[in-house]
Structure 1
Amino acid sequence: MARHASLDSNRLGNHPWQITETGIQPKDYALNASLFAQANGFIGVRGGLEEGLAGHDHEVGCYLNGIYSSEPIAYGESAYGFARNNERIASAPNPAQLQVLIDDVPVDFTVGELLESERSLSWQAGLLTRRMRWRSAAGKTLDISTERLVSLTERRLVALRYTVTAVDFSGTLSLVSVLNSLPPKLQKTDDPRVGAGMSEADIEPIASASSVAEAHLVYRLRSTGFYIASAVHHDLVAVGDVDEHAIVTEHQVGARYNIAVQQGDSVSLDKRVVYAAGREHALAVPASAVLPELERCAVIPFDALKEAQRAELDAFWATSDVRIGGNAPLQQGMRFNLFHLYQSLGRDGFNNIAAKGLTGHGYDGHYFWDTEIYILPFFLFTQPQLAKNLLQYRYNLLDAARRRARDLAIDKGCLFPWRTIGGEECSAYYPAGTAQYHINADVAYAVKQYHQATQDDDFMRDAGVEVVLESARMWMSIGFFNPRRGGQFCINEVTGPDEYTACVNNNFFTNAMARTHLRYAYECALWMQDRFPSEWASLQSRIGLVKTEPAEWEAAAENMYLPVDDATGLHMQDDSFFNKKKWDLASTPADKHPLLLHYHPLVIYRHQVCKQADTVLAMLLLSDQFTLEQKKNNFDYYEAITTHDSTLSACIHSIIAAEVGYQDKALHYFSNVTRMDLDNNHGNTQHGVHTACMGGAWMCVVQGFAGMRVNHGRLHFAPTLPEGMDDYQFHVNYQGSLVKVSVTPEEARYEWVSGPALILSQRTRNITLDSQNPIVSLGLQD
């Protein structure tokens, strides 16, 4: 499990709806900046202090989802088809930057005396609040209170209310509020999981103007042509005389207020910042790009923004909450995860959800397969429209994916990038990136799950079928009917989910997922031809689909080679995996984890050792294709050689452990997953949270302990309740019906909430829920 010492689980309290930092914790400043981050799917702001903390300037951050810079990847030795450029999520001006001075001396919390300090991030209010009392080295005491939100209803807006009180002195209190286009200078590291940030040289100033009340700043990213426009409105309330000055340079705009205060006086500054971004040249004209939006948002009362934020989150939690009884740390961790997923998710079909969400620069802000396999299930079964937006993003990337396929000598169809923002492959290390061809099957799998759960035929007609077919065509280019294996369809030189085993023949997960993908593509072709014949004819013409191709897909699926060891009956991770020496994990020191930071890839590749679930993941995604005994035997074998160096691993092991009856292990893994970031179990949350692991926490409860699967279009449950939890409860939205599921030691209760009648099953018992029969309760073993 975790190889890093966990933090005290009470460090941020155990409140079920918030985290609270008491005092200022300098050693955890970067970590807390990730944990206290706020976002709305477009804007993300790290949770640093408004005034900053000396020595931690590089740990601030504001990001705009889908907006990125680019730079050529420098290879010592390059080769044909290598990824050419890397995309990095762009830095936007930090909306929370605000400096406080007492008689021209900047407030510095690393000196003086911190008398009181508490700040909280509420997942019900969507609000970051702070109350602080600090005494300077000169003996002057300030009270500071702040409220900050990244609006979930006004998606271009960040709002901040900052109040400071001169407790025991009179003099001049100064507030300096700015927007700055220059990105933070990040510390360099050899850790490939850590992003490098933007280059200052990439920023081309376009426009900057400022009055005291209002300012705007526009710049262009030279590498990608994106414009980023931001504007700020200030509203100051003060008792004493105010001397105010506008600040404007080519990289910085804002205002400085010098206020004459008497002992006990308070000063309050409301700050509203709006953003716009894109490649349109019109964005260089702030009057049309951001100023009308700023003027509209500036007159919305702060309390009204808070009420709208609360209402938005009330609606979210009403169908998306997972309630865990009797275990405060797990309850807190679960809601923390779901809140971050909701606020980090792209919502327009042109951006996605990054591995680090909008909380940090880790992985350069790239999107991975994490979305379809680990994150989409939560949204699919709670907020299906948001799941649709994620799939629409893949459809909108098809042309880039087609170009990438040609780079890899794939003459038809597409190859989705392993890591990207704008559609271009950004993985510089192809054995653990490009070689993971299973990304195509993962995307198609998600499309299938979406259609089953929503019955959204329009999406399939307009986008889904094209995604499935174009991604399926790849398998016929990279695989072949191998006469040395009796004509079975083989797929060589691929990497499965396990990044510690690269470029192998017939990775079990890849082949099994490809088989499912090819069968589904064949079914989609028949479905489209039958349901939408004119659109089918148009699609065939547009993508150049030959009439014989669907039959070839079916033949490849029927003859897919799936490696199984004759001696043990185990499903081999690949053709050569069982011929390798097992890594001695018991003798590997804790400080040598993760292995990728301490051993050359070739050392790792020649051993039986897994970074994460691979074959075991296939047992979950393709659950109905394996017996319980097969799942148990494979789990036993692969768990023993898995390091869990990836945060994508523990959740899958928890789910399968629950299914095969290992309840203690299931809870152990679940505990690690649920508090992965709050306890910094992998030691790198300071670079951003782990969104796939967060989605995995939801999967652990719903697919693990409750045993939910979709088989033949119907929901199936096999509920269990591990020791360490009194009960749990969640909602499922399926085919338009909303059902609440509650599990206690005595029973599993299924309650129809809304929608059409729904037939589901618990083990071998069928259940019909509707308005006439809204509640059914069964014993856990029924």
Structure 2
Amino acid sequence: MERRLEVDPWRIVETGFDAAAGPDCMASESLFSIGNGAMGGRANFEEFFGGRTLQGNYIGGIFYPDKTRVGWWKNGYPEYFAKVLNSAFWPGIDIYVGEERLDLSICRIEAFRRELDMRRGVLSRTFTAVLPNGVKVGVKVRRIVSMAEPELGALSYELTLLSESGAEVSVTAFVEGDVRNEDANYDEKFWEPVALDRESGALTMRTKKTGFEVRWTQRTAVKAAGRPVSGRNVSENERIAERFVCTLKTGETVALDKFVGVASSLNHPEAELAAAAESVAQRAWAAGFEAVLAAHEQAWAEKWAGCDVVIEGDEAAQQGIRFCIFQLLQTYTGRDSRLNVGPKGFTGEKYGGSTYWDTEAYCLPFYLCTSGEEVARQLLRYRYRQLPQAIGNAAKLGFKDGAALYPMVTMTGEECHNEWEITFEEIHRNGAIAYAIYNFCRYTGKRDYLAEGGLEVLVGIARFWAQRATFSEPKGQYVILGVTGPNEYENNVDNNWYTNYLAAWCLRYASEAAEYVAAQYPDDYRRIVAATGLNAAGDEFARWREVADGMFLPEWTLEDGETVFLQQEGYMDKEQRMAADIPAEQRPINQHWSWDRILRSCFIKQADVLQGLYFFQEAFGGETIARHFDFYEPRTVHESSLSPCVHSILASLTGRAARAYELYLRTARLDLDDYNREVHEGLHITSMAGSWLSVVEGFGGIRVGRDGRLHVVPRLPEKWRSLAFELHYRGAILRFGLGTGEVRVVSVNGRPAEVVVGERCYRVDDRGIQVKVG
């Protein structure tokens, strides 16, 4: 199927549909997904579809510990892989016209349009189809997962008879609880039924092992040719269903409004689930679909008010960044610190829907800058609350004395990833947790979070690095052996530069943070010392500094005499080729090459050394960053969704404008254009935050400087006439307008802030500033 996506600044529009297209049909289900931070799902058709599909609806925080499946068990392996579950299919509608079932896999489709209105958060679909019995119908559907009411899903479904003679139409609205996860390791069903309440139109299901209970209550309103139609209950097994039968004449319409309340034991006592789901569904039914839709649209308008990025002169770029922002906003709202950002959000099952290091490295800055510091604090608290589990993860691997290893994949804080080269070796994730605390303090100008919980996290991380490093007698320095860096195309390597540099930085930062809390928050410091035994023997800080100062950082001298930080020891022993030399038919290499061949190649999956230079760019000059960009970027295949954004930012920083723009389109339109041919599995939510960074930090040139002030150095792509966005910064909400040779900044809320443009610092308030730049 050739997916026909229109370029539109506020909409994702697909025209045409081919039921035989398989993965492309599933890719559309991903692209048009909707959610509200608490739940969401793929854009599966409401009516039955006999073609290839990945049916998915997900509820944040509801998970199952799927038993680990590996060929060779190793001590320290997690016993389970936590997965956000595919839950009951709430949008279901089954339609028969005469004796024929409406199924787009067997109909002749004369017109088809699917639209995701990102401004309003509305998924809609219209089509005209001829059923196998010759009857022609037209359908119009609108669906939302309410941003105003986190436990509500609602839809409006209209079917119009277009044939020349009348027909009997049967419409069954249902919620189907008999669902499975496609990624189940042992083809196990994760849900078991608790209750089917026919009288109230409700279904209760419970997760096995974890014991979460969820209640779905359905309310419907149906009219045929403008007159109300009564239904009859046809619920059975694990399905609540109500059937409506009517006879339509040519041109007449049957219209169904459906409201489903979804209440879980994550948020309600089990004894109150029925009342909670009933209340949500009943209130929505009484208000009607249009009122529910209006409240939802108002909530989305408020979301967009401080988050929008406006690009003039480039609609493809504009559509790309708004798609990214839309997905981020509907994946995480900050209302619940027990929830986090899964790499696929509510769009698919890959990666289990769990939390990765992506949140701290990429997502936290987006929410911090667009939603305010309290939302970002929620993300930090998520990790603080899971510190005991992180200490437990480290203890399973033989670490002691409160050393903490944060998980690569988690729902509860306990590691649940089961690939050895990641579970045991991709330990750089620990550094991203520490960097997020530093980034938060630097950006907000507040260090109180160190006393609130940040220092305890840093202590656990520092203890891990101090124990994980080994002193090498031949080198006379500390080394870190047997790791995997962000570049997962090289496993079990020694002295990965990024990992070693990050470890040394963490040790120094933890020591500095402890000194700060001791001086500024003595009561909190005494509490932390009592809880952790920090520096009990009086030499712990000295040990951290010794390891940090003595850390081995591999380098390589190039033929021109310049040195580069070496990806890891032995990297230059590999055959040095450029990514451009790989034949197009062999890309992406992870879908065409053996893993052995990939590991022996020099090709890089994502930024590794460059990731470190991005994080700590103030510590390295622009010339150093440029040299490393020119060395590593040509060897990078960008087969991680997290790769193009970092490269785009560094390309902007170093004056490589054309490459920066090319890489930006790759990150912002990664899913829309399906660069890696995997959108059918779900969207790349966390990398979308990287797309925002590539606009704001890369092209906007926004960065907190060593002086603690916000600096702006615009580097707009040639075809962009202007760029505008808002940032929350130290109490102020600043609106930036960047154009050719001009920077405009105004404080929307009137709170003053200091902004550096060029070499001059300006005090920005509600009167704003307008500065000419070269």
TM norm structure 2: 0.93
Contact kept, 8 Å, 2:89 with 2:179, in 1: the verdict is no
Instruction: Return closer, same or farther for 1:69/1:14 CA change in 2, 3 Å cut-off.
Output: same
TM-aligned CA deviation for residue 97 of structure 1? 1.1
Q: 1:86: how far off? A: 1.1
Give 1:397 shift.
Answer: 1.8
* Closer/same/farther in 2, CA of residues 417 and 648 from structure 1, 3 Å limit: same
C-alpha distance in structure 1 between counterparts of 2:38 and 2:11, whole Å: 23
Give the direction of change, closer, same or farther, for the CA distance of 1:610–1:381 in structure 2 (3 Å limit).
Answer: same
**Offset, 1:15:** 1.4
Report what 1:514 is aligned to: 503
Match of 1:192 in 2: none
Deviation at 1:698, TM superposition (A): 0.9
1:216 is matched with 202
Q: How far apart are the structure 2 equivalents of 1:392 and 1:263?
A: 59
1:371 aligned partner: 359
Aligned to 1:24: 17
The yes-or-no answer on 1:359 pairing with 2:359 is no
Kept in 2: contact 1:655–1:666 (CA 8 A): yes
Any residues of structure 2 matched to 1:166-315 within 5 Å, and which?
166-168=161-163, 169-184=165-180, 186=182, 195-196=183-184, 199-211=187-199, 214-239=200-225, 242=229, 244-278=231-265, 282-283=269-270, 286-315=273-302
Shift of 1:359: 0.8
Per-residue deviation, 1:200: 4.8
Shift of 1:456: 4.9
Shift of 1:464: 2.3
State the distance in 2 between where 1:470 and 1:700 align.
32
1:737 to 717, 720, 732: 732
What is the DSSP-based 3-state SS (H/G/I as helix, E as strand, rest coil) of the residue aligned with 1:680? coil
Change (3 A) 1:543 1:298: farther
User: Structure 1 778/512 Cα, relative in aligned 2: closer, same or farther at 3 Å?
Assistant: farther
Equivalents in 2 of 1:536, 1:241: separation in Å?
67
Could you say which residue in structure 1 is the equivalent of 2:456?
466
2:704 is matched with 710
Pairing 1:133–2:125 present: no
1:530 CA displacement? 2.1
Which of 424, 433, 446 matches 1:443?
A: 433
Residues 246 and 117 of structure 1, relative CA distance in 2, 3 Å threshold:
same
**Could you tell me whether the CA contact under 8 Å between 1:418 and 1:434 is conserved in 2?**
no
**Alpha carbons 1:173, 1:258 under 8 Å: kept:** yes
Residue equivalent to 2:660: 666
Quote the Cα distance in structure 1 between the aligned partners of 2:461 and 2:450.
14
Alignment partner of 1:645 out of 635, 639, 642: 639
1:493 Cα shift?
Answer: 1.8
- Structure 2: which amino acid aligns with 1:375? C
CA offset digits 1:315-366 (Å, max 9, x no partner): 2222211111111111111101110011011631111111111111122222
In structure 1, C-alpha distance between the alignment counterparts of 2:435 and 2:369, rounded to whole Å:
15
* C-alpha spacing 1:217/1:402, structure 2 compared with 1 (3 Å): same
Measured in 2, the distance between the counterparts of 1:279 and 1:44 equals: 16
Q: Is the 8 A contact 2:153 2:260 kept in 1?
A: yes
Deviation at 1:72, TM superposition (A): 1.9
The change in CA–CA distance for 1:181 and 1:544 in structure 2 (over 3 A counts) is: farther
Residue 555 (str. 1) matches residue 546 (str. 2): yes
- Aligned-partner Cα distance in 1 for 2:578–2:323: 36
**Aligned-partner residue type, residue 444 of structure 2:** T
User: Which amino acid is 2:49 matched to?
Assistant: L
Structure 1 residue 286, shift from structure 2 partner: 4.3
- Counterpart of 1:687 in structure 2 is 681
Aligned to 1:190: none
Instruction: Please say if 1:613 is aligned against 2:600.
Output: no
1:462-521 Cα distance to aligned partner (Å, 9 max, x none): 2222222222221111014444333x3332222211111122222111122222222221
The structure 1 residue matched to 2:386, chosen from 397, 405, 413, is: 397
Contact 1:206 1:218 in 2 (8 A): yes
Paired amino acid for 1:404: N
Q: Per chain length, whose mean CA-contact separation is higher, i.e. which structure has more relative contact order (CA < 8 Å, sep 6+)? A: 1
Q: Which residue of 2 aligns with 1:766?
A: 761
Cα deviation for residue 584 of structure 1 reads 6.0
Aligned-pair Cα RMSD in Å: 2.3
User: 1:70 maps to what in 2?
Assistant: 65
**Cα separation, 2, equivalents of 1:560 and 1:200:** 47
TM-aligned CA deviation for residue 121 of structure 1? 0.9
Question: Alignment partner for residue 94 of structure 2, among 80, 99, 107?
Answer: 99
Aligned counterparts, 1:377-456, within 5 A: 377-384=365-372, 385-411=374-400, 412-456=402-446
**Counterpart amino acid of residue 488 in structure 2:** E
Say whether the 8 Å CA contact 2:15–2:113 is kept in structure 1.
Answer: yes
Given the alignment of the two structures, is residue 485 of structure 1 paired with residue 467 of structure 2, yes or no? no
The one-letter code sitting in structure 2 at the alignment partner of 1:67 is I
Report the CA distance shift for 1:591/1:225 in structure 2 as closer, same or farther (over 3 A).
Answer: farther
SS of the residue corresponding to residue 686 of structure 1 reads: helix
Deviations 1:157-189 (A, max 9, x none): 111111222234323211111111122573xxx
What secondary structure sits across from 1:393 in the alignment? helix
Counterpart amino acid of residue 469 in structure 1 = V
SS of residue matched to 2:406: coil
Aligned equivalent of 1:83, options 69, 73, 78: 78
Q: Provide closer, same or farther for how the CA distance between residues 280 and 740 of structure 1 changes in structure 2, counting only shifts above 3 A.
A: closer
Select between 640-649 and 258-267 the one with higher mean Cα deviation: 258-267
1:88 and 1:197 in contact (8 A); partners too: no
- Cα distance in 1 for residues equivalent to 2:449 and 2:174: 44
- Gapped runs of 5+ residues in structure 1? 1-5, 187-194
SS at match of 2:64: strand
Q: Say if 1:251 and 1:765 are closer, same or farther in 2 by CA, change over 3 A.
A: same
Q: Does 1:324 align with 2:311?
A: yes
Shift of 1:291: 2.3
1:755 Cα deviation after fit = 4.6
More displaced, 536-545 or 240-249?
Answer: 240-249
Q: Which amino acid aligns with 1:442?
A: A
Q: Check the 8 A contact 2:325/2:689 in 1, yes or no.
A: yes
Cα distance in 1 between the residues matched to 2:583 and 2:342: 32
User: What is the Cα deviation at residue 382 of structure 1?
Assistant: 1.0
**d(CA) in 2 for partners of 1:499 and 1:346?**
30
- Give the secondary structure class of the aligned counterpart of 1:129: strand
Q: How many residues end up aligned between the 2 structures? A: 760
Q: Between the two proteins, what is the percent identity of the paired residues?
A: 30
Post-superposition offset of 1:702: 1.1
2: CA distance between counterparts of 1:767 and 1:562? Answer: 39
- Contact 2:219–2:260 under 8 Å retained in 1: yes
CA–CA distance in 2 between the matches of 1:146 and 1:455?
A: 48
1:704 to partner: Cα distance? 1.0
More deviation in 154-163 or 364-373? 364-373
Q: Within 1, Cα distance between the matches of 2:436 and 2:379? A: 10
SS in 2 for 1:640: helix
Once the 2 structures are TM-superposed, how far is the Cα of residue 236 of structure 1 from its aligned partner? 2.0
- By how many angstroms is 1:25 displaced? 3.8
